[in-house]
Amino acid sequence: MISFTILIELECGTMSHHHNLDIVDTNAEVRGNSFVSCLKTNALVIATFAGVILGAILGIILRETKEWTVREQEYVGYIGQVFLQMLKSLIVPLIVSSLVSAIASLDLTLSGKIAARAIAYYLTTTFAAVVLGIVLVVSIKPGEGHSPDFATSSDGERKNTTTVNTLLDLIKNMFPPNIVEASIFQYRTKSSNDDTGSEQEVVQTTNILGLVVASVSIGIALAQLGDEAKALANFFHSLMAVMMKITGWVISLSPVGVMFLVAYEVLQMKDIASVMSSLGKYFGTVCLGLLLQGFVVLPLLYYLLTRRNPVTFIMHIGQAVATAFGTASRSRSKSRTICFAYWCYNKFDGTALYEAVAAIFIAQVRGVHLDIGTLIAISITATAASIGAAGIPQAGMVTMVMVLETVGLDSKDISLILAVDWLLDRCRTAINVMGDSFGAAIVNHRSQKELESLEDSLSMNSDDLKTFETEQICQ
């Protein structure tokens, strides 16, 4: 029977018939190979962490040598700024190709009820993760408590706008009059101090929400047209593959870029102890949110919809989750699981929660007030960005820059969280895999009748094909 159920492979199953003596004889070689494999797998993470440490040391040494002017500080962070520019250049093609390719790949011949359940689960849990993260970071406020000098060191002044205008701009920007223009500009309403009304101003930042709506529309159209639009769908599939490759190249440069970004940030800090304290609170806030999402929200939803023990299920997927945590990549954890529907595979609960918390934390550190409209924009953008996050380690930095740009924060402030990002990347990846697994199990349980009907239909089509081939042979 067709099943969405996760199946765990036994990695050492081929050794079950070996004598113990064979394992002892090869134990040293296995350990050596495992160590080398571990270094290769985690080379980027190790190098990025080393870049953070070296950047902090470099920044501290430079601080002690003399009093650095603003221009000299910018020279130190120049290479880091170039790295951020490279990340920004990936945002539009990566997000657009990922969204269009993912939606165009949906099998619309599958039962509508199955698709509806999968999509409903995705939207519900991902948005719940974002809301959970926002509630935690707004309640705990890990980024508050800095000196005024540090809080205003970034462009934290907000435009003269109201909550109503922010919400109206949010809806208006979802439907840009020009898709090409949306890649460069977005509109923002500026309130006047008198009764003359409001005026529109053009802001030179990517209209991500408009591109997301356009990409979703194109993807749905491609999925409905099927073979008629196969050439265009294949173009977006190929574009996504190319962007994944280029993203991997840029991310491989992150150790160098991170080192100079951290050094630049250390030079700017007025009170290093206060920033480190806030960073620890931020780390704890993200971890608390991920734990609640992975071990409370998802298991509770699983129990309510299946009436099965979620603890048993978590134990069954433990190896896949451990692999995701160890490699910080869901792509590598796929070898532990047999895949399910594409829309379930593209769930990123952990990434969405992390990006929402990180954006608000940076705003708190910089003394930027975020109204309810901006928080809604963060929730929508973080949800959309989680879909476009590539399945490779540290790719969340690309979408994180996108979220910061959307809410008007300086993308260079991402350096504030790079010191702990390498570890949080592993934590959120593990929660991503848990979300995928729970989703596949829930959809499978709730869609038994549709799956049986679909299997019978496929079986009948197969029998008809065999009958047709037999008739052709007899003729």
Which segment, 154-168, 321-335, 448-462, is predicted with the most confidence on average? 448-462
Q: Which residue has the higher pLDDT, 373 or 75?
A: 75
**What pLDDT shows up at residue 42?**
74
- Asked if pLDDT for residue 365 goes beyond 80, the answer is yes
**What pLDDT shows up at residue 299?**
94
Indicate the range of 76-80, 139-143, 270-274 predicted with least confidence: 270-274
**What pLDDT shows up at residue 284?**
93
- Asked if pLDDT for residue 21 goes beyond 60, the answer is no
Mean pLDDT of 174-190: 83
Q: How confident is the model at residue 454 (pLDDT cuts 50, 70, 90)?
A: low
Please tell me the pTM assigned to this model: 0.72
- Asked if pLDDT for residue 225 goes beyond 80, the answer is yes
- Asked if pLDDT for residue 40 goes beyond 70, the answer is yes
Q: What's the CATH code of the domain at 287?
A: 1.10.3860
For the chain, give the mean pLDDT.
Answer: 76
Q: Are 430 and 371 within 8 A, CB to CB?
A: no
Residues 382-397 pLDDT 10s: 777 766 555 555 566 7
Residue 299 domain-assigned? yes
User: Structural domain of residue 263, as residue ranges?
Assistant: 32-460
Which segment, 162-166, 231-235, 251-255, 453-457, is predicted with the most confidence on average? 231-235
Residue 351 domain-assigned? yes
Residue 25 domain-assigned? no
Indicate the range of 146-155, 170-179, 291-300 predicted with least confidence: 146-155
Q: How confident is the model at residue 339 (pLDDT cuts 50, 70, 90)?
A: very low
Indicate the range of 226-240, 246-260, 318-332, 393-407 predicted with least confidence: 318-332
Which segment, 216-220, 335-339, 391-395, 404-408, is predicted with the most confidence on average? 216-220
Residue 472 domain-assigned? no
**What pLDDT shows up at residue 25?**
42
**What pLDDT shows up at residue 2?**
37
Q: How confident is the model at residue 463 (pLDDT cuts 50, 70, 90)?
A: low
Residue 17 domain-assigned? no
Mean pLDDT of 105-116: 70
- Asked if pLDDT for residue 173 goes beyond 70, the answer is yes
Q: Which residue has the higher pLDDT, 108 or 283?
A: 283
Residue 288 domain-assigned? yes
Residues 302-320 pLDDT 10s: 999 999 999 999 988 887 7
In the chain, how many domains are there?
1
**What pLDDT shows up at residue 302?**
93
- Asked if pLDDT for residue 344 goes beyond 60, the answer is no
Residue 26 domain-assigned? no
Q: Which residue has the higher pLDDT, 302 or 35?
A: 302
Residue 7 domain-assigned? no
**What pLDDT shows up at residue 191?**
65
